[in-house]
Structure 1
Amino acid sequence: MKVFGIIGGCRGKAGLVQGLVRHLTAKGLTVSTIKRVGDDLDLDRPGKDTYCQREAGARQIIVANSFRWALMHERTDLFDEPEVEPLVARLDPVDLVLVEGFRLAPYPKIEVVMAGSDRRRQQLDDPTVIALASDLPLELPSDCFDLGDITGIARFIERHAARFRAAVPA
């Protein structure tokens, strides 16, 4: 498996990842994604059976139906950000894993920069950010893509994605 990251403090990441998945799977590649969500987001709701099971102390819960299943795992460590390697290791083998929002992951990344953003670009300090995608014209020494250039970005990712370094699942 190969892994590539998409980062940036803006709304453009999700649309880019969706476009990339659509484009790459249309080419016949198998693709999985891992998305970093805010710590205040809970995938469960109070009163639901699974929520009550977690509250009672269940460490892992699988929800499943005829179409899909999901594993919820309660973390007992106090790390600020989950490690990417154990998450990738849990996936079935695919051609490419797109990792959205894990800015500390040790894999090559594209940073999305949107108009109106005053956030300092991580690319300025992080050598794993090897390209930018933006809705603005950018003149920088790194590779820069128009955010709508899904084909060009996908080609770049295919060339630069890193082999997954297997880790022991957490």
Structure 2
Amino acid sequence: MLSRQPGRPDNAPRYAAPEPYPSIQVCGPNKKYAQMLKIDLACPQSELTAVTQYVYQSWQLDPKLSQVSNTMRHVAMVEMHHLDMLGQLIVLLGGNPTFSCRQQGRQIIWDGGMVTYCHDSLAQMMKENIAAEEFAIETYQRQIKCIDDPNIVAILQRIILDEKVHLEIFHQYLAEAQC
């Protein structure tokens, strides 16, 4: 059973954690933090990739699995909110939120090849999604340990709550697909 959001009907699914999002603010400019957050913004395993992948999956699943398709569309919207928050943080930190990042000393421009185009199996889609969400949570947790700005830490902690909701949803769909 999917989690429920307060104030919503019992049968209305929740795609994000119920806690409010912190204000988008930083203690001051910090290019190091801005560069760190660009990895979350637009690298192979990033919020931009998640948005694009989940929208793609919603198209692939509709109309044969319209409820799952609708869920993927809503989860993509939550991921888009994460993308927006990260972009705003990067600007406040003095960075430029381009759809690129530095990995292993080189500049990587985001492209559609970073999306996993699995379309033959709901179970395989959910396995890919679970791996991506787990990676995101681990990345945010590592970053939290390195960031000495309580505003950024609060936002990353809040994003983690949403990613855990997504994991719950994807695990449920995986279990149903394997029945």
TM-score by length of 2: 0.22
Q: Which has the larger radius of gyration?
A: 1
- Give the structure with the higher percent helix: 2
TM-score by length of 1: 0.23
- Give the structure with the higher percent strand: 1
